Chains A and B, each alone.
Chain A
Amino acid sequence: ETGVTQTPRHLVMGMTNKKSLKCEQHLGHNAMYWYKQSAKKPLELMFVYNFKEQTENNSVPSRFSPECPNSSHLFLHLHTLQPEDSALYLCASRRTRDTDTQYFGPGTRLTVL
């Protein structure tokens, strides 16, 4: 238990569906991150939020839409995805004032049919 939770843990969706991934951290951190982990590839940073403000969009396609209503919650809204978007999506958080260390959630395994 790392203090970062993600729901759902597994998601299967068609290319025309709209779904959302949720992340919540109970650590009092101010920065939150979305990563994509595909087979045989290093973790890819997608988005960074700091105190609810987006500070990084790593050239992510617009079919991925993040939302950060407060420092504890992070969403990733998905629409018209492609099969190659199938991956493990990981959320992480960090307290920026005193550490570089990020703490990860368990991830959402996404399969796009």
Chain B
Amino acid sequence: TQLLEQSPQFLSIQEGENLTVYCNSSSVFSSLQWYRQEPGEGPVLLVTVVTGGEVKKLKRLTFQFGDARKDSSLHITAAQTGDTGLYLCAGSSRSNDYKLSFGAGTTVTVRA
């Protein structure tokens, strides 16, 4: 089993502030996905990163994959109330038949 640890577990910020969520592992992944999930809904894919050191931007969201492909971060600039949700990271590797290993998630609440 490849464990992914997410931190923090909970994050509550004011609208307009910045936030960063971390995803760490001792395992190397061939790719890492970030999802956002709202209550009672399925996870919605935000991004997939595959190259060590890769940085991807999606509007106000910036995703980084660590050089060693063991960790990742998600940074949100000027958070909005619509960013509220559960953020999940998931890694896959050839050694695990490309099955996804999920972190426990970070619950982000953006207050108006």
Residues of B within 8 Å of A, CB-based: how many?
23
Residues of A within 8 Å of B, CB-based: how many?
26
A2 close to B (CB within 8 Å):
yes
- 1/0 per residue, CB under 8 A from A, across B17-51: the answer is 00000000000001101010000111111001010
A30 close to B (CB within 8 Å):
no
- In the complex, A55→B99 CA distance in Å? 11
Q: How many A-B residue pairs have CB under 8 A?
A: 57
**Interface residue from A40, A43, A56 paired with B102 (Cβ < 8 Å):** A43
Additional 4 contacts, C-beta under 8 A, given A88-B40, A101-B48: A2-B42, A6-B42, A45-B99, A106-B41
Residues of A at the B interface (CB closer than 8 Å) are: 2, 4, 6, 40-43, 45, 48, 55-56, 88, 90, 92, 94, 96, 99-107, 109
